[in-house]
Amino acid sequence: MCRWAAYIGQPIFLEDIISRPGHSLIRQSQCATQCHTAINADGFGIAWYGEKPEPGLYRDAMPAWSDQNLKSLTATVKSRLFLAHVRASTGTASSRNNCHPFTHGRWSFMHNGQIGGYDAFRRAAEMMIPDDLYPFRRGATDSEALFLVAISEGLEQDPKGALERATARFEALARARGHAPYLRLTAALADGERLYAVRYSSDDQAPTLYHRWSDSRMGQAVVSEPLEEGEHDWSEIPQGAFCTFEGRDVRIEPFRPVACSIAA
């Protein structure tokens, strides 16, 4: 599975999350400790917010640890809100278009997890993307498809409800045509003002997810794995939770995808 990290708060250099900590995201791309896949070498990406409403985006299919441009970018760019991801493919090709985060307008989105048996119902999943959004389908991942379906379900007005409805549709497809585990999900999304995160699974094995406020940085980090070994002040996000981060405030609500039926 993939690893990711997100931040919201006072502007910091991207490297303060992505490369400088002892168990930074780049370190996790080489040696993750809380997932089945220790190596996450199938690409990486960063979406960050600056002066414009839309995020900047930098992605590549090479391993994060080998990209000198990434090191230079993270050392010189500051942001108050950003998403970063290192990828371990669950079946789709290693290409730039399949690297997270994905963006649309002011929204950015990244995902870790799996949708069981996706290859068996990929065409049906593609059909859930409306015609007006399908031109924005650049890659072949289930993650990008989930993001576009969430947009069609009203992400702009109701982020939690839209993601619940989109997740329910994908889980129903997996139950009807795929295989267990039907859906495991941690995801982060941002609209330029707020950071949202979700941890959910159709079984009791949701991928790990933590958050922590830093008084020194005056910001909140949300991560797949703690950024330093031995730090014990990270709070684990419970399974079945949707979180809204705005400044220091954290709101945690139940995440309950609404059941729906899909013809087998």
In single-letter form, the type of residue at position 117 comes to: G
pLDDT at 51 over 80: yes
Tens-digit pLDDT profile for residues 166-193: 999 999 999 999 999 999 999 999 999 9
- The pLDDT of residue 168 is 97
* Structural domain total, the chain: 1
CATH of the domain at 68: 3.60.20.10
Task: Evaluate whether residue 259 is within a structural domain.
Answer: no
Q: Give yes or no for a contact between 227 and 24, defined as CB atoms under 8 angstroms apart.
A: yes
35 part of the active site: no
Task: Evaluate whether residue 260 is within a structural domain.
Answer: no
State the residue range of the domain holding 43: 3-254
- Has this prediction a pTM greater than 0.85? yes
Task: Evaluate whether residue 205 is within a structural domain.
Answer: yes
Q: How confident is the model at residue 253 (pLDDT cuts 50, 70, 90)?
A: very high
Task: Evaluate whether residue 264 is within a structural domain.
Answer: no
How high does pLDDT run on average in the chain?
92
Task: Evaluate whether residue 218 is within a structural domain.
Answer: yes
Task: Evaluate whether residue 94 is within a structural domain.
Answer: yes
Task: Evaluate whether residue 148 is within a structural domain.
Answer: yes
- For the chain, strand residue ranges (E) read 3-13, 44-48, 56-60, 78-86, 102-104, 107-115, 183-190, 195-201, 210-214, 219-223, 235-236, 241-246, 249-254
Task: Evaluate whether residue 263 is within a structural domain.
Answer: no
